Structure 1
């Protein structure tokens, strides 16, 4: 896979995330998910608090989606917390590789995994732009694929994990294209929870 080290901040996206398996096998679940996911198109580092992924936006979403899905497909209750960011004024070109192509490395591997999940997300266009209509239009478009409902300080999504991650990426990209020079999205996702109210059957 051909990577090039980034020489500037343009186009660098990042995500800081944590995966929390509610199981005494949590180490096995986390390491197994990391091993299954193809991370060759991003820069990634794990410390004692979170894992950070940096690279092109499409690859950042692809890798985080794959890691979560592989952890969730164990059948254990898994929680995922993430903050996605693009265009941070204080960002640097260090610790990042931008893959020369835009083909998601994990798409074929996870696209047929129908893992029901519940999610909440909040979007913060910090760099201006006419974003409210774009966000509402994208959320409306999501309703074709997942169940969408209101929540305090967030929007709730219920459906299959692949569709939800696709919707989150579309909303993020549309916000950037709408003129936001610095965009942040916070995401919380839960799979296999014993208290789950039941997700969408949308495929």
Structure 2
């Protein structure tokens, strides 16, 4: 809605000149408090995520090392540091298993245990599930149980990790809305990316 006055004044074609590939125009990003320069920034689609993290956001406070970022809210999969050259765009993020969502950029440092991060994600998802469809209602509850135990222990066993993946994939395939699908994607993609850390 914030772009509408500009588009009315300058025209849709002029707005469409900005952006990249099929993602046209601009996007407002919200950088969280771990950044050296947190805040709201309007950027053009197509900007490399590395530029967002290090040039706009200034990297992490205190020179801490980046372990990953989540773009698009808590139900979006984690993007690893080596994937930061991806351009900001719907299709480009989807190609690496991530999503754009509402543009919230959540950074976390290398002292963050991924198993704890996943527990926070699924605990939130279980609390927010409306309960209408059983893949989401039962899936988020089961994932919350698995990751609560894993968080206390510090890791998932291989059997637990495989169960978590099966549950997440079922949620992705059968949930009625994006809440269940997004939770499943966040767990499946992030778990696969950080398997060596999370699974023992």
Give the structure-1-normalised TM-score.
0.31
Q: Which protein, 1 or 2, shows the higher relative CO under an 8 Å CA cutoff with sep ≥ 6? A: 1
Give the structure-2-normalised TM-score.
0.31
Q: Which has the higher helix share?
A: 2
The higher radius of gyration belongs to 2
